[in-house]
Amino acid sequence: MIVVTGAAGFIGSNLVADLEARGAGPIVVCDWFGTDERWRNLAKRKIDAFVRPEDLGEWLNANAGDVTAVIHMGAISATTERDVDKLVENNINFTVRLWDWCALHQVPFLYASSAATYGGIETGFTDADDLDALMKLRPLNAYGWSKQATDVIFARRIADGKPTPPQWAGLKFFNVYGPNEYHKDDQMSVACKLFTQIRAGGTVRLFKSYRDGIGDGDQRRDFVYVKDCTRAVTWLLENPKTSGIFNVGSGAARSFLDIAKALGRVMNAEAKVEFIDMPEAIRDRYQYFTQADMTKFHDAGLNAPFASLEDGISDYVAQYMAREDQYR
């Protein structure tokens, strides 16, 4: 029995789809559904049980003998969240309680960390999991700090020789795009937002560059297709001797302009681009480059190549966004 938290969310729901396709299970989902459309993310899945987050501890204790893995994708993921107490309780304390339960019952525990832990750096995205390396990171927002603080707690416990789950992994997802992200509003990927603009015949708006040698729209990010993210998680389940903190990205930085061009090609539409002023408030701390160092994951044995931006965009549009039913 596999428990997936945050299962109605973007990465969580894609993970449930992958687990189902691989015949894993039974699958138990833990999440709040609220009043938006995120229930559609799981509408096609065969779910064995639904558990509210506040009831998860009691449910785990009652089913301890049947749980074979806990995959914790649940979190407040908005980088704009200002209620730090809320982040502490939901992103740090809840995760630590799950770690403790898995350590006590010797159940594998995989959880979502974040590339936001790296802060504003533009080189050196190396997924070291020792305490000294983690303490040197400087996240730019409270969300990123909450993920770093969680990683640090676990690193300290490991360094002190305290009990751990038999397998554990913290996953630093980079800029993820793909199906089932539609409920995320302003937190949706650039690919999803630009698709809507191009389909409506509108103009794609990208930021001007304020750095010498970098053209307008040529600011680069590590855009990674969600199916590759969930493949990394399922690979870990199939390789229980592998533990640690791992980057999850394509390993290839691409520009925002590349996304617009890739969408235009697969949609057979002109991607009209207008370059707009970047707000002054963010110009001094805007990142022009992120790229996951995937060496650690590759050395562990995850060697199958991730989708290129063009292939990922093509699948996303053809199989999901261009269809009446966009959900996986």
Write the pLDDT tens digit of every residue in 256-312.
999 999 999 999 988 899 999 999 988 988 999 999 999 999 999 999 899 999 999
Task: State the pLDDT at residue 208.
Answer: 96
Q: Per the residue annotation, which of 184, 193, 208, 296 is the catalytic one? A: 184
Enumerate domains of the chain plus CATH numbers: 2-178+222-251+292-306 (3.40.50.720)
Mean pLDDT over each residue of the chain, to the nearest integer: 96
Give me the residues of the chain with pLDDT under 50, please. Answer: none
**Looking at 46, 86, 118, 143, which residue is catalytic?**
143
pLDDT of residue 313: 98
- Specify the 3-state DSSP secondary structure of 276: strand
**172 in catalytic set:** no
Q: CA nearest 155: which of 191, 171, 131, 121?
A: 131
- Terminal CA-to-CA distance of the chain, rounded, Å? 22
Identify the pLDDT of residue 285.
86
CA atoms within 13 A of residue 324's CA, in its CB half-sphere: 0
Q: What is the dihedral of CA 209, 259, 189, 124, to 10 degrees?
A: -60
Helix axes 256-267, 190-199, angle to 10 degrees: 40
**pLDDT confidence of residue 51:** 98
- Active site includes 86? no
* Predicted pLDDT at 318: 96
pLDDT, tens digit, 9 for 90 and up, residues 179-209: 999 999 888 999 999 999 999 888 899 999 9
Contact 260, 204 (CB under 8 A): yes
